[in-house]
Each structure stands twice: as C-alpha cells, then as structure tokens.
Amino acid sequence: MGYIGKKPTDAPLTSSDIADGIISTADLANTAVTEAKIGNLAVAGAKIKTDIISAQTALATAPADTDEFLVSDAGVIKRIDYSLIKGGGLHTLLSTTTVSSAVSSVDITSNIDSTYNRYYIRIDGVRPSVDDRHLYLRLGDSSNFNTNGQDYAAINIKSDNDSVAFANGADVDHMRMADEVHSASHASLCADVHLYNITSTSLDPQVSTETQYLRANVPAHTFMNGRIDEDDRNFTAVRFIFHTGNIAAGVFKLYGVS
C-alpha cells in the first residue's frame, strides 16, 4: 500500500506482524541458523538445544548395528550405522551362566560353532558343594559329552613349600583343570579356558586352561593342556563338572575370539 504525504516512520518488524507458517525453510539462508541461535531459542520455557537432547528417550542398552549417528565428513554432515564405528574388540561375549544354587554340572551348549576358530571361557567364583573335589572339563555336543579319547597333562603348583604335582591322562573321559578344590564360603576358583579348533572337522580340538584356587585351604595354581583323539572332532559344547558332588556357585562366560 502506498502513502500520501510524509513517509511513515520506520518500525522494526515483530513476531506479531508475521503469521505462523509464513516463513519457509526455503526463505532461510544456509548458514542463517547457527548452534548459538538454536541454543538461545526457547520452547515451553526450555532452550531448544537442551530440550532436543534431554527430552528424548534414553537408550539403556548398546545400540543396534543399524542405529545411526551423525558425523561430519570434511564439514558435510552424514549419517553412519553403529556397526561401522563400534569397537570390534578381540573377545565377543556370547553367553553367561551364573550358578546361584547347586547344580551337577555347567553345560555350555549354545553359540559354539564355526563362527570362531577359538573360544574363550572365563570362570569366576566357583566352589564345590563338597570339599576337596577335582574340576573336570569335557567336550561334546548338546546331547552327548565325549566319554573317551581325551588326553591331557597338568602341572599343579602349591604355595606350601613350593610343591609341584603332575597329573596326566590318556584316552580318558575328562581333562582335569584343578585338584582338591576347597569348598569354604571364602574360597573362589577362577580360570581362563581357551578352546582351539573344537568345531573343526580336520584338525584335532585342543584345550588349555589356567586355574587359580584354594587346594586344601592352600593357594594353588594349575596349568593344563589337552586334546581330543583325531577320531573325535567337531564339538559344539563344553561341560564343567566336579568328579563328585555339585557345583555350588560360579559364573561362566563364553566369548568368541576374533
């Protein structure tokens, strides 16, 4: 609209002069809205920058591989799947078995397949229900554990007088990880178990263990190496069992080794 006579005094444009929805994103310059501007805008009394983050649902677990993040690629914002930036790591946790009441054995029968050539089992806080029991390891499948063909050699070191004991077995139904494990409530057997080629159809499965525990209330350490006879291959399960009595407590974690 034109004017007659003297030009009206200039007045700044206010928000009340602009109807909602009049300004579109096409009307904004590419660099017009900065982080500082977003931080100073308010929505329902809260700054937008804070509100955008804090008002969203928190992710309480690790992101899925297809969850996306925003990254700057030489100044260009792009989205990227979590699978491309997550740490691969050497060990991938596959399962956890926790014994809180006595069981006859701990059988790990899932997640052992051709995905990995090596598997690692971390054992913590194991106690037998009866004192002075030997801890055995057996390989098998989900329904049957090998009853023969297992060969092993072990060295047991005790802290009293630095005594060393040797144990071995040939064509037996177990591999011995520890001798005379103490059952007291303060006792705790911990072990690292490494499984090599146990699902192979052409290579002999091999096992190595390192176990720390109390033997007759004396600190002891056992190193064991074993293998399965070449006629028995492609195992998909592991059993831990005391030679008599039950497993009263313990945590068994299975990892795939990349």
- Model pLDDT, residue 87: 65
The answer for residues whose C-beta is within 8 angstroms of residue 176's C-beta and 6 or more apart is: 134, 135, 136, 137, 152, 154, 167, 169, 224
pLDDT at 188: 92
Residues forming beta bridges with residue 183, ordered by sequence position? none
Residue 60: band (very low, low, confident or very high) from pLDDT cuts 50, 70, 90: confident
Quote the pLDDT of residue 135.
Answer: 96
* Range among 30-39, 84-93, 115-124, 227-236 with highest mean pLDDT value: 115-124
Q: Does residue 2 register a pLDDT over 70?
A: no
User: Regarding predicted confidence, which is higher, 134 or 22?
Assistant: 134
Q: pLDDT exceeding 70 applies to what percent of the chain?
A: 86
The per-residue pLDDT of the chain, averaged, comes to 84
Cα-Cα end-to-end distance for the chain:
75
Reported as a pLDDT band with limits 50, 70 and 90, residue 61 is: confident
- Is residue 174 a contact partner of residue 224, using CB atoms and an 8 Å limit? no
- Structure confidence at residue 230 (pLDDT): 63
Given a cut of 70, whether residue 40 has pLDDT beyond it is: no
Look at 206 and 84; give whichever has higher pLDDT: 206
Residue 249 has pLDDT above 80, yes or no: yes
Q: How far apart are CA 105 and CA 97, in angstroms?
A: 11
Closest C-alpha to 123, from 141, 138, 135, 110: 135
The predicted pLDDT at position 36 comes to 62
pLDDT at 206: 93
Confidence of residue 9 (pLDDT cuts 50, 70, 90): confident
> To 5 degrees, how large is the angle CA 250–CA 256–CA 258?
145
The larger pLDDT score, comparing residue 161 to residue 108, is at 108
Query: Which residue from 177, 191, 194 is spatially nearest to 134, judged by alpha carbons?
Result: 177
> pTM of the predicted model, to two decimals?
0.68
Say yes or no to pLDDT of 166 above 80: yes
Q: What is the pLDDT of residue 257?
A: 92
Question: What is the enclosing helix (H) or strand (E) of 36?
Answer: helix 35-40
Question: What is the predicted pLDDT for the residue at 243?
Answer: 95
Residue-range domains of the chain with CATH: 91-257 (2.60.120)
